[in-house]
Amino acid sequence: RFAGMQLIDWLCAMNPSNARSFWESAAQEGRIVFGPYLDSADNRPALERIVKEGERYIYIERHCVEPEVDGRIEILYEDEALVIVSKPAGLPVHPGGRFHRNTLTYLLGQAYRHEKLRLAHRLDAETSGVVVLTRKQAYAAPVQKQFHQCQVSKLYLALVQGHPSW
């Protein structure tokens, strides 16, 4: 749906929280690259470039050091439809903010390089617990629907120190 737009307009549309001037500076600094190769001087696109279907653009953050996380993900179960893992507390599920590679989806993407795992639900970053992913799009909708319609039983445990006033 974005084919035919200028790159700068596409960047602004896809990332409305960043001002146009942000993307102009990033391009001027060479932090927007075209294609999978980061080391080529020929892959720095002009912001006037027309975006086409299937193209890949990469934004390179500067001086970004992600916080350390516990990346010990335990595979609890897997078959042709599902991958079920135990996520440690402190590990975000999705990229966002300061976390890009230190996330459940990124780490599993590295382990399952030839598949696109789909989350059936999510857990907060600080919550440890079981996360269900599907291996194919055909399995995703029915499993996600089960979570959405509360057909999946969940049990949450909390550790409490002392006596809460309530």
Contact (Cβ atoms closer than 8 angstroms) between residue 85 and residue 131 = yes
**Using the 8-state DSSP alphabet, how is residue 6 labeled?**
B
| Residue of 9, 39, 42, 124 with catalytic role | 124
* Residue 121: Cβ within 10 Å count: 16
Tally the C-alpha atoms within 13 A of residue 136's C-alpha that lie toward its C-beta: 5
42 assigned to active site: no
Asked if 48 contacts 40 with a C-beta cutoff of 8 angstroms, the reply is no
How far is the C-alpha of 52 from the C-alpha of 37, rounded, in Å?
Answer: 18
Q: Which residues are designated catalytic?
A: 124
